[in-house]
A and B are shown apart, each in its own frame.
Chain A
Amino acid sequence: MEKQTIQSDPYNLIITGVGGQGNVMASRVLGNMLSNNGYTVTIGETFGASQRGGSVMSHLRISLTDSYSPQIAKGRAHMVVALEPIEAIRVLAQYGNENVKVLCNTRPIHSVGVISGEQKYPSQEEIQTWVNDLSSQAWFINATDEAMSQMKNPIFGNIMLLGALAATNELPLSIDDFEAVISETMTPDKVQLNLAAYEKGGQMLTQATASVSG
């Protein structure tokens, strides 16, 4: 069931994660899917620290009319997609509100401070409780581990999250839009792998939703 319009104009979406996770790629693919559908899309990226373990964010502004600021105003996000769970909390504290929704990958990436034992990384249960408390609706899927075990490459976790995002029906996204965008730059065998990851993400979200409501 595909929605034809956006729920707010502009619709503000943040993709957050850690440098090297493919944040920029995910935001570009999503942006192009929406742009091809006639939306005016603005993407703001912080990727100075992208390869070097820092927190990174892409801000997507989706509108029927105008380009918006590449930075979303504080407290004004409609949707947060977290490629890394604790980054969801960090972003919500700045851009969240009672109505925000969250799609969260559950695989943590430990900062060097955690690796060295100087800092503590919260448990998955704690993070889920907090994300639920800070959002009106949240979905959790273990995309990275699924990508590692099924596709032998953690980067497909991003594509699973895009498929999962589409399955939330919060935005007008379809797998055909996805295929059209990736076909521009990828070889046919890669396209097939990515389509499989996208579909898998949608299935994982449906299961996650079922387990919450069940």
Chain B
Amino acid sequence: MNLIAKQEKDGRYLLMGNEAIARGALEAGVAVAAGYPGTPSSEIIENLARVTTERDLYVEWSTNEKVAMEVAAAGSFAELRSLCILKQNGVNVASDFFLHLAGSGTRGGMVIIPCEDPGALSSINEGDSRHFSRMLEVPLIEPGNFQEAKDMTKWAFELSETLRCPVMLRSVTRLSHASGNVVFGELPVTHHKARFQHDGFILDPDTGMISSAPVAYRHGLQQEKLQKAIELFETSPFNTYTGPENPELLVITSSACNLYTKEAIQLLDVGDRVGLLKLGTTWPLPPKLLGKYLATTDKILIVEEVIPFLEENVKILAAETAETIGIKKFYGKRDGSIPSVNELNPDLVITALANILELNYEGVAAAYTEKALPLAFLNAPVRDLTFCPGCPHRASFWNIRTVLKKDNREGFVCGDIGCYSLAMLPTGFSTTKTMHAMGSGTGIASGFGQLARFGMDQPVLSVCGDSTFFHAVMPALVNAVHHKSDITLIVLDNSGTAMTGFQPHPGLEVDAQGSEALKLDIQAICESMGATVQVTDPFDFKATQNALFEMLQIKSGVKVLVLKQSCALSPEKKHTRRFEMSVDSASCLGEDCGCNRLCTRIFRCPGLVWDKVNGISKIDDAICSGCGVCASICPVGAIEKREVA
């Protein structure tokens, strides 16, 4: 029995925030869930996908976030409760449809959950999607602990059904990927019945056609829904206050920052001086509730991640009610009390509180820091991120780098989003030179590929993973083919959405639920688009380098090289070794070789280490995955591979 589908009411379990969200959706009787995998959101869909049979659900990993939201919306239009899960900055991808959905309204409760990554712990941006709620005019709620992650998810479906509009629930890494104790509620008995009513009066939101037009009429309805949301938010139990009746300082916060602020107040022991207003409903803000607490003091600190969204909205309300609540002194991101970038933590909130309340606080004792910091700084080697041992990307970028050097025209690679983003670092031989959103590598390459007319004579390459290919590269590739852009796309096909945990994608024969799915062939797609396509194994250096070099010499049009080799951590490869590797100590010439220690200094697989004592390279058996690639690197053939029987 999967933990999140346990019937037991009032059971108390240690759950990841994402598991708590999934449980909340089950308690709400969700019928359709769709998303695109990505940190820190993936476990929500993964957990729901495991219980599709016992909980009567349809769950899918969609091609991208916009499609995921459309799939979920269809569930809502057919009177089912539906869920759309988005990774950090996923709202951006879905936002075009989201705007129209906000205007058209929904039927069955529909909840949209972006999980974001303040501090970019596993991203290359720290985008904050909360502004979308104001921009698209949909209600926004934010859980402030693990229990609320479950409870507010369940409530979000009810709210959406009451308001007839999508509700956005925002989580962050420190909730989604953290764990805490959650008490379960009841799982409903569900008999899902889907039916789309479309032949009623055209303007009837429940029986007529569904659209955001006529705009003036529907936009008016949308605003009425927001007014109703405000009324409900005024008395929501998810907005809580703890502290004295008239605090010296009022802190207004939401989400994970609630936990940081609680801890800061406790560590400074200022519970009798500071009030904490934790908001679960963060847009539109309930003005009466805010007015009541703003009136209790003159000093307000707003603690939030990442941009000053809450701060600005509170200030608007404060300005509108200044006559009754009086003039306030605000602290937050805009005056620098709280850092304007990166994630927060208890210490940053302590610093802000200590400054405002004129207190002294010592985190790590000065005497301790004096001995510990130099030890750590001088002796703990920095751990640069690196491709895993046996990773096909290391071999792929080695091949690309080698061919670009041989080609010798200062060719470059436009990068994309996935594990292979690391190719901008030494682990990928610093091969990629641009790095933006999913699919952008090929879009940018398509543009570079037109610049020969202005004298640009460098070969233009782009890379993408197999999942990214379907997500956003296909339209860019169509553009490049159609406009005869002179580019080479390298698809790093490792047979799964590897970075986020091997979720299936349209190139595989299985779907999120484990059912058989129709597999789309990347090679055939590219060929049918009109590209010149070759497929090689990146572990085969000679074939891959020859194919790529040939492609770079073709002067016009789109070339695609598919490099096929599964991820070293894929379930079929993990804990298995194809080769036993060893270094022949008699053959390895070490520093005298003239290779400049190519294997450990340049190739730098973590499974290969420099044995300082003996002055030769050696294999680290605890790390080596036995892929055999490094045997092709050594110029004197000192690295030996022996096939494991």
What is A's interface to B at a CB cutoff of 8 Å?
A: 18, 20, 28, 31-32, 35, 40-49, 51-55, 67-76, 86-87, 89-90, 92-98, 107, 109-117, 119-122, 126, 130, 133-134, 144, 148, 153-154
The residue of chain A having its C-beta at the shortest distance from the C-beta of B376 within the complex is: A93
Please name 19 pairs of A and B residues whose Cβ atoms are closer than 8 Å in the assembled complex, sorted by A: A41-B181, A49-B122, A52-B419, A86-B380, A86-B381, A89-B372, A92-B376, A93-B364, A95-B364, A96-B368, A98-B368, A109-B623, A110-B606, A112-B386, A114-B381, A114-B609, A115-B600, A119-B382, A144-B622
- Once the chains bind, are A113 and B381 in contact (CB under 8 Å)? yes
Please indicate the chain B residues that have their CB under 8 angstroms from the CB of A75 in the complex: 362-365, 368
Contact B259 A117 (CB under 8 A): no
- Give A153 to B622 CA distance when docked, in angstroms: 8
A53 touches B384 (CB 8 A): yes
Known: A52-B387, A94-B364. 13 other contacts (CB 8 A): A42-B179, A43-B180, A44-B174, A47-B177, A48-B122, A69-B256, A86-B381, A89-B379, A96-B364, A97-B365, A116-B600, A134-B368, A134-B372
Interface assignment of B346: CB less than 8 Å from any CB of chain A: yes
- A52-B386, A114-B381 known; A70 and B259 CB under 8 Å? yes
Q: A69-B262, A115-B608, A134-B371 are in contact. Are A126 and B379 (CB under 8 A)?
A: yes
Q: Mark B602-624, 1 if CB is under 8 A from A, else 0.
A: 10101011101000000011110
* Complex-state Cα separation, A48 to B343, whole angstroms: 14
Q: Take A35-B13, A73-B346 as given contacts and tell me if A116 and B604 are in contact as well, using a CB distance cutoff of 8 Å.
A: yes
Please state if B365 and A41 are interface contacts (CB–CB under 8 Å). no
Secondary structure of the A contact surface, majority rule: loop
Docked-complex contact B609 and A148, CB < 8 angstroms: no
With CB as the reference atom, state the residue of chain A lying closest to B266: A68
Residues of B within 8 A of A51 (CB): 388, 569
Provide the bound-state CA to CA distance between A117 and B615, in Å. Answer: 11
Q: Are B263 and A68 in contact (CB under 8 A)?
A: yes
The prevalent SS among residues of B at the interface is mixed
Structural contact, B622 and A154, CB atoms closer than 8 A = yes
B379 touches A86 (CB 8 A): yes
Least distance between B435 CB and chain A CB atoms (Å)? 16
Contact A52-B385, Cβ < 8 Å, known A73-B350, A93-B375, A117-B610: yes
CA distance A122 to B382 in the complex (A): 13
Contact A110 B609 (CB under 8 A): yes
Q: Residue of B at shortest CB range from A117?
A: B610
Residues in A with CB closer than 8 Å to B369 are 93
Is B215 close to A, CB under 8 A? no
Q: A68 to chain B: which residues have CB within 8 Å?
A: 259, 262-263
Query: What is the bound-complex CA distance between A94 and B604, given in angstroms?
Result: 29
Contacts A109-B623, A115-B600, A134-B375 known; A121 to B388 CB distance under 8 Å? no
A5 to B178, CA, bound (A): 24
Residues of B within 8 A of A44 (CB): 174, 178
Q: Which of B372, B384, B427 is in CB contact (< 8 Å) with A93?
A: B372
Those 7 A-B pairs whose CB atoms lie nearest each other, nearest first: A48-B122, A74-B363, A93-B376, A70-B178, A75-B364, A35-B14, A53-B386
Task: For A69, list chain B residues within 8 Å (CB).
Answer: 256, 259-260, 262-263, 345-346
User: Are A130 and B375 CB-contacts (below 8 A) given A48-B39, A113-B381?
Assistant: yes
Known: A69-B260, A71-B345. A89 touches B13 (CB 8 A): no
**Residues of chain A with a CB closer than 8 A to B365's CB:** 75, 97-98
**A90, B381: Cα distance in complex, Å:** 9
**Interface flag for B329 (CB, 8 Å):** no
B389–chain A nearest beta-carbon distance, Å: 9
A48-B39, A68-B263, A90-B380 known; A73 vs B347 contact (CB < 8 Å): yes
Q: Please count the residue pairs between chain A and chain B whose beta carbons lie under 8 angstroms apart in the complex.
A: 196
Q: With A44-B178, A93-B376, A94-B364 in contact, do A112 and B604 touch (Cβ < 8 Å)?
A: yes
Is B177 a contact of A71 with CB atoms below 8 Å? Answer: no
Interface contact A97-B364, CB-CB below 8 Å: yes
Instruction: Please determine whether A115 and B609 come into contact, CB atoms closer than 8 angstroms.
Output: yes
A residues less than 8 Å from B621 (CB atoms)? 148
Chain B residues engaging chain A, CB cutoff 8 angstroms: 12-14, 39, 117, 121-123, 145-147, 173-175, 177-181, 256, 259-260, 262-264, 267, 345-347, 350, 362-365, 368-369, 371-373, 375-377, 379-388, 419, 422, 426-427, 569, 575, 597, 600-602, 604, 606, 608-610, 612, 620-623
Q: Beyond A49-B122, A70-B259, A94-B364, is A42–B178 a contact (Cβ under 8 Å)? A: yes
* Nearest CB in chain A: distance from B117 CB, A: 8
Whether the pair A48, B121 counts as a contact (CB closer than 8 A) is: yes
Q: Which of A20, A40, A41, A74 has the most CB of B within 10 A?
A: A74
With both beta carbons as reference points, the residue of chain A lying nearest to B145 in the complex is identified as: A67
Q: A70-B259, A92-B372 are in contact. Are A49 and B174 (CB under 8 A)?
A: no
Please pick, from A35, A49, A92, the residue contacting B181 in the complex, using a CB distance under 8 A. Answer: A35
The residue of chain B having its C-beta at the shortest distance from the C-beta of A43 within the complex is: B179
- B383/A43 in contact, CB under 8 A: no
List residues of chain A with CB within 8 A of the CB of B609: 110, 114-115
Question: In the complex, A70 Cα to B256 Cα: how many Å?
Answer: 8
- Which residues from chain A contact B368 at a C-beta distance below 8 Å? 75, 96-98, 134
Q: Once the chains bind, are A42 and B382 in contact (CB under 8 Å)?
A: no
Q: How far is B378's CA from A122's CA once the two chains are assembled, in angstroms? A: 10
- State the CA gap A122–B259 with chains docked (Å): 37
- The docked-state distance in angstroms from the alpha carbon of A35 to that of B146 is 14
Shortest distance between the CB of A128 and any CB in chain B (Å): 12
Q: CB distance A70 to B610 under 8 Å?
A: no
Taking the closest CB of chain B, its distance from the CB of A98, in whole angstroms, is: 6
Please give the distance in Å from B598's CB to the nearest CB on chain A: 11
Chain A residues positioned under 8 Å from B256 (CB to CB): 69-70
Q: How far is the CA of A103 from the CA of B103 in the complex (A)?
A: 57
A15 to chain B, nearest CB (A): 13
Known interface pairs A45-B177, A75-B364, A116-B601. Does A55 touch B383 (Cβ–Cβ under 8 Å)?
A: yes
Contact assessment for A31 and B14 in the assembled complex, using a CB-CB cutoff below 8 Å: yes
Do the beta carbons of B259 and A74 come within 8 Å of each other?
no
- Measured between C-beta atoms, what is the minimum distance from B373 to chain A in Å? 5
Distance, CA A71 to CA B344, complexed state (A): 10
Residues of chain B within 8 A (CB-CB) of A90 are 376, 380
Set of chain B residues within 8 Å of A45, measured between Cβ atoms? 177-179
A111 contacts across to B, CB distance below 8 A: 381-384
Most buried by A among B347, B372, B623: B372
Q: Are A41 and B383 also in contact (CB < 8 A) when A74-B364, A93-B373, A130-B375 are?
A: no
Measured CB to CB, the closest approach of chain A to B176, in angstroms, equals 10
- A residues within 8 A CB of B371? 133-134
A73 to chain B, nearest CB (A): 4
A residues within 8 A CB of B13? 35
Q: Evaluate whether A116 and B381 lie within 8 angstroms (CB atoms) in the complex, with A75-B365, A89-B376 already known.
A: no
Complex contacts, B387 vs chain A, CB 8 Å? 52
Residues of A within 8 A of B381 (CB): 86, 110-111, 113-114, 119-121
Residues of B within 8 A of A67 (CB): 145-147, 180-181, 259
A140 to B: closest C-beta gap in Å? 17
Give the nearest-CB partner of B177 in chain A.
Answer: A45
**Minimum distance in angstroms from A75 CB to a CB of chain B:** 4
Given known pairs A53-B386, A111-B383, the reply for A71 and B181 (CB within 8 Å) is no
Given contacts A68-B259, A89-B379, A134-B371, A49 and B597 within 8 Å (CB-CB)? no
CA distance A17 to B620 in the complex (A): 18
A92–B123 alpha-carbon span in the complex (Å): 26
Known: A67-B145, A111-B382. Is A43-B178 also a contact (CB below 8 A)? yes
